[in-house]
């Protein structure tokens, strides 16, 4: 892990803690297990101000390319639960993949207990999206 623990921007951390508490960790037991793992990881997360947030850390609205051990790569955008859209590869932070990715950085490898079993994934690329005067800019 590049930074030694998850790295989260302060406001996003507070939001994430709130939605985890409200969600009750979901009804599906497999998803519940993933969210409980995330909740445990949040206990040791590094919380930083917006201006100190590294550009290579996965946060809300990050576009992320992950590589699986079998050589397959997948690009997804991590979004708030209300913005999820599986058809357009927008995954909620409350999904197994979303909960696995948040707070990790480009180059990190993660071993996570997904619903279909324990897998190792590597974060190949992270792009941040910022809005400037109502225009989305990828940086």
| pLDDT reading at 131 higher than 70 | no
CB 68 within 8 A of CB 121: yes
Q: According to the CATH classification, is domain 7-138 in 3.30.300.340?
A: no
Mean pLDDT of 57-81: 94
Give the H/E segment covering residue 116: none
What is the reported pLDDT for 104? 97
CB 54 within 8 A of CB 9: no
Query: Which tokens in the block code for residue 99?
Result: 């909960």
> Residue 94's pLDDT band (boundaries 50, 70, 90)?
confident
Mean pLDDT of 61-81: 93
CB 81 within 8 A of CB 92: yes
Q: What is the pLDDT of residues 12-59, one digit of tens each?
A: 999 998 888 876 655 677 777 777 888 889 999 999 999 999 999 999
What is the reported pLDDT for 34? 75
Torsion of CA 135, 92, 85, 87, to 10 degrees: 120
* Exposure class string for 90-119: b at 16+ Cβ within 10 A, else e: bbbbbbbbbbbbbbbbbebeeebebeeeeb
Residues 105-110: contacts with CB under 8 Å, at least 24 apart: 105/1, 105/2, 105/3, 105/7, 105/54, 105/56, 105/57, 105/58, 106/2, 106/56, 107/2, 107/56, 108/1, 108/2
Q: What is the pLDDT of residues 97-115, one digit of tens each?
A: 998 999 999 999 998 877 7
User: What is the rounded distance in angstroms from the CA atom of residue 63 to the CA atom of residue 76?
Assistant: 6
Question: Do β-strands 90-92 and 129-132 pair in parallel, antiparallel, or remain unpaired?
Answer: unpaired
What is the reported pLDDT for 30? 72
| pLDDT reading at 7 higher than 60 | yes
């Amino acid at each position: 892990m590049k930074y030694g623990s998850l790295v989260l921007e302060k406001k996003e951390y507070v939001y994430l803690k709130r939605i985890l508490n409200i969600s009750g960790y979901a009804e599906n037991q497999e998803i519940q297990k993933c969210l409980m793992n995330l909740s445990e990881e949040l206990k040791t997360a590094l919380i930083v101000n917006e201006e100190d947030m590294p550009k290579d850390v996965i946060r809300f609205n990050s576009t992320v390319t992950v590589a699986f051990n079998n050589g397959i790569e997948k690009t997804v955008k991590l979004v708030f639960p209300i913005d999820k859209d599986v058809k357009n590869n927008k995954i909620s932070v409350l999904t197994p993949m979303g909960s696995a990715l948040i707070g990790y950085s480009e180059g990190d490898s993660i071993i996570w207990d997904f619903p279909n079993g324990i897998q190792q994934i590597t974060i190949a690329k992270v792009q941040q999206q910022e809005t400037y005067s109502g225009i989305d800019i990828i940086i």
